[in-house]
Homo-oligomer: A and B are copies of this chain.
């Protein structure tokens, strides 16, 4: 652990969910010690300690905070539930502001029985209802398109194209898109869509991980960069060409990796980042 880490690691942030067994304090300590530049904080690690304590820990670490994860879930046939979602997203924006997070990542939601185009209309409406609050707190909102295998109940936005459409509808510079290679790597329009995101100043976040060729579970079997089939370097080149200069955020949900010794795993993560694979 005394070997100085290459400065390049400063270009990477890690999502706390990547090291699910760790508390926020453990994540901050380890990420900072390993030489990462940032941390993206999931709300589940704030919940047990409260946002003031979480903010104290994060600010004390010296790590930058690209994102608070996650708001969204705007879709419901029930008006009261949609209102509750808006209220919760405002609390999420408050937490992001307290932590000094640049953006809230939005998993926008979907609901069996609600057609996807109607769901996207509800998403635009829900985000719209949060914009004043986002502006007052100087927090950006990043729509994350999720892979089409999550269209049933997690996200009605499954391509960058639909995320851009919602951004255009809202027309607010604080709304943009988080591009996660896991969700979009298969998209035949990927290069064009990323270029357009750049041109429209909507490219807020870039998440990395990998798609395991024999994926065993729809939610918790992602690969670390290099363990799957995604040409991450190619997609990184696209986002850089589009003008993205933010941190690369490592976001891996993996039962397999969560079961490992997390210190050893973090060293592997650092190596994977430095390979720029």
Residues of A within 8 A of B (CB): 112-113, 115-117, 147-149, 151-153, 158-159, 161-162, 185-188, 211, 213, 215, 218, 228-229, 231, 234
23 A-B residue contacts at CB 8 Å? Answer: A112-B228, A113-B229, A115-B231, A116-B186, A116-B188, A117-B188, A147-B148, A147-B149, A148-B149, A148-B186, A148-B187, A149-B215, A149-B218, A151-B185, A151-B186, A152-B213, A152-B215, A152-B229, A153-B213, A153-B229, A158-B186, A161-B188, A215-B218
In the complex formed, the residue of B with least CB distance to A115 is B231
B188 to A162, Cβ gap below 8 A?
yes
Q: How many copies does the complex hold?
A: 2
A228 to B112, CA, bound (A): 8
Residues of chain B within 8 A of A117, CB atoms compared: 188
Q: Is the CB of A228 within 8 A of B186?
A: no
Closest chain-B Cβ to A238's Cβ sits at a distance in Å of 13
Chain B residues with CB below 8 A from A159, complex form: 188
Q: Are A152 and B211 in contact, with the CB atoms below 8 A?
A: yes
Q: Which residues of B contact A188 (CB under 8 A)?
A: 116-117, 158-159, 161-162
For the complex of A and B, the 4 pairs showing the least CB-CB separation, nearest first, are A112-B229, A151-B186, A148-B186, A149-B149
The distance in angstroms between the C-alpha atoms of A228 and B151, with both chains bound, is 12
- Residues of B near A116 (CB, < 8 A) are 186, 188
Residue of B nearest to A211 (CB): B152
Closest B residue to A153 by CB, please name it.
B213
Closest to A218 in B: B215
- Decide if B148 touches A228 in the complex (CB within 8 Å): no
Which residues from B are CB-within-8-Å of A112? Answer: 213, 228-229
In the complex, what distance in Å separates the CA atom of A213 from the CA atom of B219?
13
Q: Residue on B with the closest CB to A159?
A: B188
CB distance from A192 to the nearest CB of B (A): 12
Name the residue on B nearest A229 (C-beta).
Answer: B112
